[in-house]
């Protein structure tokens, strides 16, 4: 497990960029953190590495999924309003087609997707400071 401390939104994005440079684009990334922790901000940093303008990246809370076209397709899902069964059904259609990023991914962390995966937890320390933990999921 890797641990990082972020002291600003820009720092959080840089941590995400460094993490994303290690990805091939066929993984599943489970993001966890309370409202306002910076999950979407982290995704903006990841998407930048794959050639997606951060302006395009926004939380799919009401649309449930956003697709970003860059060097690979990025499937950005918000699981907040989905049951694990609904989320699993939705995700299955995109397995192997690109990078899958799940906000509120802790709701599905123990799922059976046969993809390389990472679990990222973002904890709020104060207004600007975050603890970020990145754990590789071994199958």
Domain ranges for the chain: 2-137
For the whole model, what pTM was predicted?
0.91
Residue 116 has pLDDT above 90, yes or no: no
Domain 2-137: CATH architecture, name and number where available? 3-Layer(aba) Sandwich (3.40)
pLDDT exceeds cutoff 70 at 109: no
Instruction: Look at residues 66, 132, 122, 123 and name the one whose alpha carbon lies nearest to residue 99.
Output: 66
* Structure-model confidence comparison of residues 85 and 66, the more confident one: 66
Q: What distances in angstroms separate CA 22 from CA 50, 51, 89, 129, 138, one per listed residue?
A: 11, 15, 28, 24, 16
């Amino acid at each position: 497990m890797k641990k990082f401390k972020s002291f600003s939104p820009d720092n959080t994005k840089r941590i995400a960029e460094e993490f994303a440079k290690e990805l091939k684009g066929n993984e599943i990334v489970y993001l966890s953190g309370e409202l306002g922790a910076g999950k979407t901000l982290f995704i903006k940093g990841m998407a930048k590495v794959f050639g997606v303008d951060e302006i395009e990246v926004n939380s799919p809370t009401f649309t449930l999924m956003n697709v970003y076209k860059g060097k690979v397709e990025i499937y950005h899902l918000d699981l907040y309003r989905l049951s694990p069964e609904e989320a699993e059904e939705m995700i299955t259609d995109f397995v192997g087609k690109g990078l899958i990023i799940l906000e509120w991914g802790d709701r599905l962390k123990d799922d059976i997707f046969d993809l390389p995966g990472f679990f990222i937890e973002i904890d709020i320390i104060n207004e600007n400071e975050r603890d970020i933990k990145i754990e590789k999921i071994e199958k």
